[in-house]
Structure 1
Amino acid sequence: MSKTITTLPPHRAPGEPPEIREPAHVPVAHVVRGGLVEGVHHGSVVVLAADGSVQFRAGDIEAAFYPRSALKPLQAVGLLRAGLPPLDDPLLALVAASHSGEERHLAGARDILALGQLTEDDLRNVPDLPYDPAVRDEWIRRGLGPTRLAQNCSGKHAAMLLTARTRGWRLDDYLDPGHPLQEELAATVADLTGRRIARVTVDGCGAPLFSVSLHGLTRAAARLATAAPGTDEGRVAHAMRTHPEMVSGSARDVARLVRAVPGLLAKDGFEGVQIAALPDGRAVGVKIADGADRARMPVTAAALAHCGVDPDVLAPFAAAPVIGGGAPVGALRATEALTSHRT
């Protein structure tokens, strides 16, 4: 039976876009310092059972929201459907990546571009420094500035260009929502989430960003995780599972989580978004209302516990230390409402 923390509006009819409204988020994480709750992060959480039913939910899982980079696995499937030429698993994982800007990521993006006789100059994403702080610091010490290749979405953009070139489409406006490439990607997102897109805007990298519901996004993650080998969904899922460092980076929490939980498919996104799905279809979706990245993983760990993932495996992800005077004096953890209703 579904467990609910807050009363939500009834589900809209299948196929309708999620409703655009202020989401009814609830407390999902507490910042505890010296035994007192110092801060509260609100958000929404959904846990799907293997049969696709809602096993647990908190907050508002049906309102329209922007998944940010958590949408990339769906876009990777859309690119394959649209004609992206075959890539090896590390490069396909990079297509779904928010990478850290390590040399392996930059080399991979160059390789994708080279397949279409393209260069970094063809990219239209926003120039940026590497995402990983250590990589970024080293980049700056070398006197390097922002580049399109270093920006964390360059793998996706390189694949968009390669797909457009393969299909004979224009390259200079490949980020226009009316471009045939973006129309095909939008159709894939609607198909995988089960709902039409509520609104289209521009993501931080410059690509079109499609608004879905947290429920729909999580349902899509489950579809990828359970897809048969050789299907477009299955190919993306396999690449992401086997090369999590290409999807994020060697020091990133998402890569460590995928390595720790056998068969897990996971992707994070800016503004506190996380999806994760197991091979049998159990899946979780998290949105932190204020966009705080520090609350994302502890809440995700609490949600995965509802899926039966071993608590000992999740322990390194379940809390973030609160520091006072250089030493831990508390922790950021999921609220009791999330941790006390596990099956």
Structure 2
Amino acid sequence: MTASYRGGELVAEICRSGFTESLHRGSVAVTDPAGHRVAAIGDADHPVFPRSSNKPMQALAMLRAGWEPASEADLAIAGASHRGEPVHLERVRSVLGHAGLGEEHLQCPPDLPGDPDARNAVVAAGEGPRRLYMNCSGKHSGMLAACAAAGWDPGAYRDPEHPLQRLITATVEELTGESVGAVGVDGCGAPVLAVSLTGLARAFSRLVEAPEGTPERRVADAMRANPILVDGTRGPDHRMMAALPGLLAKGGAEGVHVIAAPGVGAAAVKIDDGGGRASTPVALRALTTVGGLAVPEGAKPEVDALLWPEVHGGDQPVGRLRTLL
């Protein structure tokens, strides 16, 4: 059996009122546009579960299965971890509806929307959790649509031996350039495939460097053209992609984040404690300092806010998260 992730090095600290309050350890892999690793911190070689950072590759497999989305926005929601905002629910319904399916076919767990305003609206209306609101319902709707397009059993689409899941495995192995190290069950109930941070970064480099019009490029372009669908109004992926056109960003649970830019390369991060607050700053720092990603003057305020997120005491900023790359 392939060895599991072994842990990383000190990559970030939280400073409150001039005092170092917390430390984050993790690992980083940076690849160039050709997918060759140019830098690594910690364990960039052993597999991790990328969780939702695998979604762009899963969306690519859906296209390869024969799914033709009704719009590029529908393709984007298939690669998203949405927040249950109305714009997200509209797209999930579109994917299902064009495939002749409904919410009852989804096999992700019921949940409340992740966006606070959307969640409050649902609760105020007296509603409870629904599968539609779950942040992976876009991926699940795309999987169902791919099954409908290919003539595969939609009732078993989460089974690792289902034709769609086998195609996803082959797609992940092709893009990462390595064998899947482990197969687990993701939080949404679908299979999650373990690959190294190096392989993950390589895959994202290949998505953004793919020739225009290819399925790989379609996935990257759809997500970049619709960043609000990828993780919502307040989400870091939306904020990064809106501030830096051309950037592809996708976070995952348990402290994983991957970002890539054409002509620059990609950075993949795993934070050892599984927390998400350090993953975005560390990934962005790695791609700007090691990868050489240029930040236009007009984007610097938003990028700086993502690179050095504030720590608050009461309602005032009293410190920041500081990356240590």
Deviation at 1:22, TM superposition (A): 4.2
Deviation larger for 304-313 or 157-166: 304-313
- Percentage identity across aligned positions? 44
Deviates more, 1:194-203 or 1:84-93: 84-93
- In structure 2, the partner of 1:177 is 160
Mean CA deviation greater in 57-66 or 308-317? 308-317
Instruction: Name 2:306's counterpart in structure 1.
Output: 317
Corresponding residue for residue 217 of structure 1: 200
Q: Deviations over 1:144-167 (max 9, x none)?
A: 111111111111111111111222
Instruction: Name the CA distance, whole Å, in 2 between partners of 1:136 and 1:296.
Output: 25
1:262 Cα deviation (Å)?
2.4
- 1:57 and 1:246, CA in 2 relative to 1: closer, same or farther beyond 3 A? same
Residue of structure 2 aligned with 1:107, choices 74, 90, 94: 90
Please give the residue correspondences for 1:65-84 in structure 2 after superposition, counting only pairs within 5 Å.
65-84=48-67
Q: Is the 8 A contact 2:35 2:203 kept in 1?
A: no
1:327 aligns with 2:311: no
- 1:188 corresponds in structure 2 to 171
**Ranges in structure 2 where 5+ consecutive residues have no aligned partner:** none
User: Structure 2: how far apart are the matches of 1:23 and 1:87?
Assistant: 43
Which of 207, 218, 224 lines up with 1:235 in the alignment? 218
Aligned-partner Cα distance in 1 for 2:4–2:140 = 31
Query: Quick one: which of 236, 244, 255 aligns to 1:272?
Result: 255
SS across alignment from 1:97: coil
Cα displacement (A) at 1:330: 1.5
RMSD: 1.5
Q: Deviations over 1:266-304 (max 9, x none)?
A: 111111111111112511111111111111222122112
Q: Deviation at 1:26?
A: 0.7
- Aligned partners of 1:147, 1:138: CA distance in 2, in Å? 14
Q: CA deviation at 1:114?
A: 1.1
The one of 272, 276, 297 equivalent to 1:293 is: 276
Deviations 1:233-255 (A, max 9, x none): 01101101111111111221211
What secondary structure, in the 3-state scheme, does the structure 2 residue paired with 1:172 have?
A: helix
CA distance in 2, matches of 1:107, 1:80: 20
CA distance in 2, matches of 1:40, 1:112: 42
TM alignment of 1:224-263, pairs within 5 A: 224-263=207-246
Contact 2:33 2:206 in 1 (8 A): no
Distance 1:234 1:163 in 2: 18
Normalising by structure 1, what TM-score? 0.89
CA contact (8 A) 1:223 1:281 kept: no
- Find the aligned partners of 1:23 and 1:205 in 2 and give their Cα distance: 25
CA distance in 2, matches of 1:133, 1:295: 21
Q: How many residues align?
A: 319
The C-alpha deviation readout for 1:146-199, integer Å capped at 9, x for no partner, is 111111111111111111122221121111111111111111111111111111
- Between the aligned partners of 2:16 and 2:236, the Cα distance in structure 1 is 23
2:150 maps to 167
Determine the C-alpha separation between the residues in 1 that align with 2:149 and 2:75. 16
> For 2:264 and 2:168, how far apart are their aligned partners in 1?
23
Cα gap change, 1:256/1:22 in structure 2, threshold over 3 Å: closer, same or farther?
closer
Residues 167 and 30 (structure 1), Cα distance of their counterparts in 2 relative to 1, 3 Å cut: same
Equivalence for 2:292: 308
Give the corresponding residue for 2:116. Answer: 133
CA distance in 2, matches of 1:54, 1:187: 22
| Counterpart for residue 45 of structure 2 | 62
Q: Is the 8 A contact 2:311 2:317 kept in 1?
A: yes
